[in-house]
Chains A and B, each alone.
Chain A
Amino acid sequence: MDGLTLLGTWIAALLTLCILSFLYKDNPFYKFAEYLFVGVSAGFWIAYNYHNLLLPNLIDPLKGAFVVLLLEGRLDFRWLTIIAGLLGVTMLFRFFPKAAWVSRYGIAFSVGLGAGLMFIVYLQANCIYQIWGTVKLSPVVITEGPGGQHFDWPTSVSNTLLIVGVVSALVYFYFSKEHKGVLGSTARLGIWFLMVSFGAAFGYTVMARISLLIGRMEFLIDGWLRPAVIAPIQGALASLGLL
């Protein structure tokens, strides 16, 4: 383990322990790690956005356009990028109460464009494709086998349950009519499907968090304690002839 890796391992281990100390109660070590985490995360996103958003979409095109203007004396279409820069700069006016209204241009542009994008993306991927995925299912599936055609009951039952589940859960989300009678019973069935779905999502989330916890414990034992704490101590003791 080289010096930088050793230093990094120690820092990572101490910060991990600082955060885990919250399990006992809120304390200064946890608070320090919490504030540091928020700060470095914000700094990370600033640098990341500079390199991945601002540089290729604003700074580089303007630089290129400026070079063309200097060398060839003509205005390039890339100068239009300045509009994006201006719209972005308007956002910063939020910090000046008297001129805060200027920020509406940048916000309106991003909200409007976001709305347009969401309109298409959600309508296509989450609405139409999901409906299509449900209506194309057949409740009766016949498959070809060695002995001729036969009723594929596992797939048929799955498909039927899936169709019933989607329709009943959608009925539950229909609030324009009181959930009574057939509508009420269907909505009740929908709730059961939704509950199983939430339970499954919860189970998955818990397992994901536990696997992260196992990862952190593995790091503390195999990544830090053994190579960075025990091994150097053993080395030192061995060099003194005590081992």
Chain B
Amino acid sequence: MRREIPMIVAFVAGVTIILEFFVPALRDVASQIQKWYLVVIAFAILVGAFNLLRINYMKIRYRRADWPYSFALIAGLFAMAIIGIGWGIKEGTVFDWLFNYLIFPMSSTVFALLAFFVASAAYRAFRARTVDATLLLVAAVVVMLGQVPIGSAWVPAWWPDSLVFLTPDWLKDRIMNIFNTAGQRAILIGASLGVVSTSLRILLGIERSYLGEE
């Protein structure tokens, strides 16, 4: 029963949401259940935070590699959580100040750092050795050139309209609107069929990996 009842819970919750789409009378019930979902999700995030704390506490306790940095992690987590819960998260609060001067600069720098790694990975991977790799390379270069003013800066004012298809701007628009749309659409359709079938497997109890081991 430790597995059967949770499976029934999953079935009832999922089927109620699906039925609500076809039976408007179930709207209030589904809306209430979705609010419960948000509460459970909030607790799931708490589980993640507790786990992070536990791992770093163990790291400090057993003096594992890089343990002194775990103090920064724990202090940051507690400071942000306590200040946010205790004094609010609205604009102008200490929480907002911490977000603006700690989280925002760090997150944007971490993502900016990826520019270097993406560039070096591209240098290694983008060798035009096959038709596929050449297409990928050409599309990437055209889109990059089309995105920046310098990409079209070389096009002189007297450039004839009949040759507009040779400009990065024009090519980028066609790549994005036709080729990219076609590829993304096919991926979306394929992925959505995968999601739908996995959802059905979960609701019907065929997929049970989320319940863990016996």
A residues within 8 Å of B by Cβ? 4, 7-9, 11-13, 15-16, 19-20, 22-23, 31-51, 53-54, 57-58, 80-81, 83-85, 87-89, 91-92, 94-95, 100-101, 104-120, 122-123, 125-127, 130-131, 133-134, 158, 161-162, 164-166, 169-170, 172-173, 190-207, 209-210, 212-213, 215-216, 219
Contact = CB atoms under 8 A, between A and B. Distances in A.
Contact of B77 (A13, A39, A57): A39
30 contacts: A9-B101, A20-B109, A23-B116, A32-B72, A38-B76, A39-B76, A43-B76, A43-B82, A44-B84, A46-B85, A49-B41, A57-B42, A81-B39, A91-B44, A109-B40, A112-B203, A113-B33, A118-B196, A119-B17, A122-B195, A123-B196, A126-B195, A162-B178, A194-B183, A196-B139, A196-B183, A197-B182, A202-B136, A202-B139, A205-B118
Interface string B14-55: 111110010000000000111111111111111111111010
Interface string B112-136: 1111101100100000000111011
A120 B17 contact: yes
Given A92-B43, A196-B136, A126 B81 contact: no
A39 B46 CA distance: 13
Contacts of A108: 6-7, 9-10, 13, 210-211
B189 interface: yes
A195 B109 contact: no
B115 A213 contact: yes
B102 A36 contact: yes
B179 A196 contact: yes
A53 B189 contact: no
A239 to B, nearest CB: 28
A101 B118 CA distance: 42
B85 A169 contact: no
B136 A57 contact: no
A9 B104 CA distance: 12
Contact of B99 (A44, A100, A112, A123): A44
A48 B52 CA distance: 17
Interface of B: 2-3, 5-7, 9-18, 21, 32-52, 54, 66, 69-70, 72-85, 88-89, 95, 97-116, 118-119, 122, 131-133, 135-144, 147-148, 174-193, 195-196, 198-200, 202-203, 210-212
Q: Which of B18, B37, B116, B118 has the largest number of chain A CB atoms within 10 A?
A: B37
Contacts of B176: 200
**Which secondary structure dominates chain B's binding surface?**
helix
A35 B70 contact: yes
**Which secondary structure dominates chain A's binding surface?**
helix
Given A37-B107, A92-B43, A213-B112, A119 B199 contact: yes
B106 A15 contact: yes
A209 B114 contact: yes
B89 A15 contact: no
B178 to A, nearest CB: 5
B72 A95 contact: no
A16 B158 CA distance: 45
A120 B18 contact: yes
B112 to A, nearest CB: 4
A166 B137 contact: no
B188 A130 contact: yes
B73 A36 contact: yes
Contacts of A12: 100-102, 104-105
A149 B174 CA distance: 25
A111 B210 contact: yes
Contacts of A31: 66, 69
A26 B142 CA distance: 34
B80 to A, nearest CB: 3
Contact of B13 (A23, A54, A113): A113
Contacts of B103: 37, 40-41, 44
Contacts of B50: 92, 95
Contacts of A196: 135-136, 139, 175, 179-180, 183
Given A105-B5, A117-B34, A172-B186, 15 more contacts: A11-B102, A15-B105, A37-B103, A42-B49, A42-B76, A57-B42, A88-B42, A112-B203, A115-B198, A123-B192, A126-B188, A130-B185, A165-B181, A202-B118, A216-B112
